[in-house]
Structures are given as structure tokens and as C-alpha cells.
Amino acid sequence: MMNRALGLFGRSQTGLIEAPTGTGKSLGYLLPGLASALVDDRLLVIATATASLQDQLAKDIPLLSDAFVACGMPPIRMAVAKGRERHVCPLRLQDATSVKDMFEGEDDAVLDMISDRFAGKRWNGLRDTLPVPVSVLQWKRINNTANTCAGKRCALYEECPYYLTQEAIRQAHVVITNHDYLLSCLAHIPSSPLAAEGTMYVFDEAHHLPPKMLSTFARRLDLGSFPDELLSSVLPLCAEHRRTIELSAASAKARWDESSAMLTAALGSKGMCRFPLGKPPEAIAEVLAELLKEVSGLKSGLDNAKDSFRTNRSMSSKPRAQNALLDIGDMKFGQLIGEIEAARSCLSDFSSDAEIARWVTRGLGPVLCCSPFDSAGIAKRHVWPVVKTAVLTSATLTTLGSFNATLRNLGLPQETSVLRLSSPFDYTQSRVVVPRLAPDGTAKAHARLVKAYVAEKGVRAAGHVGVLVYFTSRKLMNECYEYLPEHERSMVLLQGQWQPSAMIAEHRRRIDDGAKSIIFGLDTLGEGIDLPGRYCSLVLISRLPFPSPDDPVIATHAEFLSAKGLDPFRMLTLPKAGLKFAQVCGRLVRREGDGGDIVVLDQRIVTKRYGMSLLRGTEFTTIHST
């Protein structure tokens, strides 16, 4: 792996490396990446999908730096880059505590404590390092956003955690970040230091990249929340533009309410209304097009008022340190314009001719949603024009035994360099089992038989103290839990009742204390959890993990493929199922000496032709029957 990664960095090429658990994946790209960064004076950016891996890399790199120094190399300068909104805004924090009586109203003891810690330099300004819990609504009052930030004009710029991080990035040899933030930088901030020419990239946990690309460009607008209060707080600052903005806001609000009523009627009693092929009815399209005009007009008026406010502010004779109220006014303009722009952006995408998924769901009111479904197109437009040198790696990059689906979803040519490493573990002590009485996953009797099997073989049977039961349906998971008598439920850790990290810790504690422990989990526990040895020697898969046909993005994508005469099952549904199946199977063997059974309670894996294709994406070669 190190040899392939070094070759890609040296030739400034992009390649995929599937590195199973136990390979030493992080070391496989860190050593060649850090060496290339130091020798060739290039920035190395490592993006991951999970915070836990970022934290682990932040611990590993200083150890490797010591090794490089011992060989006569300079120390490695490292920076950790997280999303802008993960940082506190000192000005908004000051506003929420010192002058909140003018703008926000009620006192908030949590924010006061956060302010004291920040002022006393006992907190670095990152939400992740807060020693006290803070709600989403509280954090949104004090976090840094592009719309509320005045940049170098701000009186508190010098102590801003976000800009201190940006400076650290410019000085770094290696930057650790996450997929979301890096994709946002590549797509929206071409001047970002993370997008500098010659940068080397590593996308770890790269199987997450296609869905991350889609979510980066997805839009949503809750029509139950017009920003009336924020608008009222800004109107006194609008001077000669106030009357124009009041009229524009009233007109936009009327269209907003009309659109909300029409979409509420479209929803009816349903939780979601998806528009086939992403095309809403003409009446809805016309009303939303009119709303787009009104919202665009309101934003234009607010932009003019903000420009006038800034002009008047620049003429102020007050010293910069005493200009806090003007800074807060500038911030309020930015916050309102940001919300209006987010609404305008969603309406614009929804009203465009682009081939995207469009649907309505429920929130405070009807929520307008749209999302692209073609991750390859996004990658070709926004990622690969900037990213010329990259290693994309994961324990699961192949699906159905091939890189083809991954290359297609990433918009990479079929001749892209690929490497599939073998596992260093012995799989002869493990097997995939399909009980003879297991039903077809689509059969009416499936749920009843799964409940009985999980109770008898997963909960009551001896031989396995650590059990993971993977469900594709929350409904079935809860039914299996309710099926058990109360004294047996006490052995089960049910996802939703526990935070994932706390669930894993409790599972380990119970087994260490000599008790049996069973985890009932959904997709988020199908990957990323590490339960070696006796902590997990039995994995039960309730049903083959095909994506839900009700997912609006997948359903719309399937319609477009069918319209082109292509097979959505082979091109879309089956590859997704293969990737998830491999990830769930990967929970069983985590260390040398691990072994056990993966029991699939779905006969389709042996009765359908695609069954062996699913198996080829795992380390297993045969299916056993019991």
C-alpha cells in the first residue's frame, strides 16, 4: 500500500486502494504522504468521514513527526480543519451575552459559562472541545457562519478561532479535515488554502464520498418559518431603504404563505410527496417561480441596505474597539441575508431545468427539498478539476467484487489505478450461514420468522456472549425487541435508546463482567464499530440491505435510468446493497484470531443469481446451510 501511495503522490495521479481491516491503512498512506510533503514541499490534506478517525490521526502524526526528526527531517506542522460553523464567533458570543437584552432577550446560563471559558482562554472555540453540553439552538446563536462574518473588518478578528485555524492551515505540512468541509471548500471556496495547486489529498473512508457529494449540493427550505423576527431586528438599520424593504418583505411573505398552503395540500396526510422524474405539477412550479422572484427582490433590497450601512459605518469616527454595536448590526444583516439567500438558492434549484430529485416533506411547515442524484457529474465539475493527486482508500471500495460501481459514482475513468489488498486475517474460522427455514426477505412471513430466530438463536442460545443483530428496518427492530419477554430485553442494547459510543462501551462492560450482551442496530452500526474477539462472534442480518425504494433521491435516479433504457437494479440498487452487505460482514473479524458466524435470515442470497455477487464483495467465499 505504501508503494502504491508513494507512486501516486510522485506521479501526481489519483488511485483507489481497498485496504481491509488489519492492513495498517492509516500508516499505509501517512508515511509516503508525510515524506512527500516534507521532501517536495507540498501540502498533504487528509479527509475522513468520522470524527473518531480524525482524532486518531491527530494522535498518530506527532508520533511519526518524532520519527522523521530522528532521521534528520524537520518537524511536521499539523493543523486540524473543521467546518466553519464548528467554531465560535467571538462577536456573536459577545452579542448573546453582553448585549443580548437589545437583540435576543432571555438570559442563558450555558452561554454565560461558555463566554467565561473563552474569555479566560480555557476553551479554544471549537464545539467539539466544549466541556459542557450545548443545544443546537444555543450553538446557532454563537457559531461562526460565512454570512454573519465581517472578516478583517471585525473588531474581534485577531482572536477569532476560525481565522486562527486558517492561518495554521497556511503554515502546515499536513491538514486533517472531514469530507463535508473539504468538499464545500472545493465546490464553493476555490481560494481556500485546502485547494492550493500541487496539494496531495487522501480521502480515507472514501466509500462515503458519493453520498457526501450529493448532500453538499442538496437544498431544503422550511416554509413554516419566514424570518419575521430577524427582519424586524434589521429594519431599524435600513435607513432610507426601510420602506422599500418593508413592501418587498410583505409581498414575499404573501407568496411564501401561498406556496406553503399549496404544498400542504399536496402533502395531504402523507409524510412525503415526491415528484416523479423530479417534475412538480405546473401549478406548484408556477407559484414557486413567483416566490423565487419575490425572495430575489427582497435579497436585492437587503444587499443595498447593507451596502449603505457599511458605507455609513466606514465614515464613523468611533475607534474600532468601540464599534461593537456597528459590528453587531453588520452581523445581523449578514444573518438575515444568509437565510434569504438559502431560501433563494433552494427555490432556484427547485425551479431550474436540472435533472435532480424534488420532493416535499414535513417540518414546521411543508419542507421543500431537492438534491442531485448524479455524484459523478458533481465530482467532474467540482472535485477533479482541483484534485489532481489523490489516494482514495477504504476497507470497502469494491462492490460485487469490482471497483466499477465506485469508479462510476466518483466520475473517474475505468483506467484509474486501483489496488485491492487481501486481508491479513484468517477467515477459515468464520462462515456465512443461511438457515434452511430462513424466508425470502420479501415474504409476508419474514418478520414473524425473524423475530422467532433472533429470540431463539441470538438471545437465548449459548455459545456467543457478544451478538450484533443488523436490521434494515427500525419497525422490525422494535418488533423484535417487543417480542422478547422483559427479562430478556435487559440483555439487549437497542439503538435509539443509547448513543452509539455509549452503547458500545456498555456492551464491552457487560461482557467484561461475564454477562451476555446483544446489540440491535441499524445502518449506522453496520460500519465503523470495532468489537473484536468475544465482543462479537455472531452477526445476524435480518434482511439483505437493499436501499429503501421510498428514498426520494434513489427513486428519482432509478426513474431516470429506466427512462434511458438502463437497468436501475443492476446499476444502482444492487451495488448499494453489495457495499452495505460487505460492511456489515466486516463487523465479525477485527483482529487476528477472530471468528464466528454471519447468519443471513434472507433466502434470496442463495435463491437469486445476485446472491454470489453479494458474497464476492466480502472476504467469504462460500455460503453454508444449517
Task: Report which of 340, 364, 229, 227 is spatially closest to residue 292, judged by C-alpha positions.
Answer: 340
Residue whose cell numbers read 469508479: 407
Give the three-state DSSP class for 284. Answer: helix
Same domain membership, residue 415 and residue 296: no
The single-letter DSSP state of residue 484 is S
Mean pLDDT (whole number) for 108-114: 84
- pLDDT of 102: 44
Of 304, 338, 371, the position where a domain reaches its end is: 371
Determine, yes or no, domain membership for 498: yes
CB 431 within 8 A of CB 27: no
Determine, yes or no, domain membership for 425: no
**pLDDT tier at 107 (50, 70, 90 boundaries)?**
very low
Domain count, the chain: 4
Same domain membership, residue 244 and residue 193: no
The answer on pLDDT for 592 being more than 50 is yes
- pLDDT of 324: 62
Determine, yes or no, domain membership for 306: yes
- pLDDT of 106: 43
State residue 485 phi and psi, 5-degree precision: -65, 160
Residue whose cell numbers read 417534475: 279
Same domain membership, residue 211 and residue 351: no
Which structural domain, as residue segments, surrounds residue 99?
Answer: 88-159
Same domain membership, residue 252 and residue 124: no
Q: How far apart are alpha carbons 504 and 614 in whole angstroms? A: 28
- On average, the pLDDT of the chain sits at 91
Bigger pLDDT: 153 vs 213: 213
Determine, yes or no, domain membership for 603: yes
Mean pLDDT (whole number) for 598-609: 95
Same domain membership, residue 249 and residue 178: no
Same domain membership, residue 339 and residue 303: yes
Determine, yes or no, domain membership for 164: no
Q: How far apart are alpha carbons 219 and 487 in whole angstroms? A: 46
Same domain membership, residue 95 and residue 240: no
CB 57 within 8 A of CB 34: no
The answer on pLDDT for 100 being more than 80 is no
- Over residues 410-449, the pLDDT tens digits come to 999 999 999 999 999 988 889 999 999 899 999 999 999 9
* % of the chain residues with pLDDT over 90: 73
- Angle at Cα 583 formed by Cα 531 and Cα 201, nearest 5°? 100
Same domain membership, residue 443 and residue 365: no
Indicate the angle between helix axes 209-216 and 179-188, nearest 10 degrees.
50
Same domain membership, residue 188 and residue 49: yes
Domain with residue 585: its CATH number is 3.40.50.300
Q: How many residues does the chain have?
A: 626
Same domain membership, residue 573 and residue 498: yes
- Angle at Cα 72 formed by Cα 67 and Cα 75, nearest 5°? 60
Domain with residue 224: its CATH number is 1.10.275
Same domain membership, residue 144 and residue 109: yes
Helix, strand, coil share (%) of the chain residues, nearest 5: 55, 15, 35
- Over residues 539-591, the pLDDT tens digits come to 999 999 999 989 999 999 999 999 999 999 999 999 999 999 999 999 999 99
DSSP secondary structure letters along 500-514: HHHHHHHHHHHHHTT
- Over residues 179-220, the pLDDT tens digits come to 999 999 888 776 788 998 899 999 999 999 999 999 999 999
Amino acid at 432: V
Neighbours of 579 (CB within 10 A): 25
Same domain membership, residue 360 and residue 241: yes
Reading the block at residue 19, the C-alpha cell is 485496504
Q: How far apart are alpha carbons 294 and 161 in whole angstroms? A: 37
Provide CB contacts within 8 A for 139, sequence distance 6+: 127
Of 392, 420, 448, the position where a domain reaches its end is: 420
Give the three-state DSSP class for 128. Answer: helix
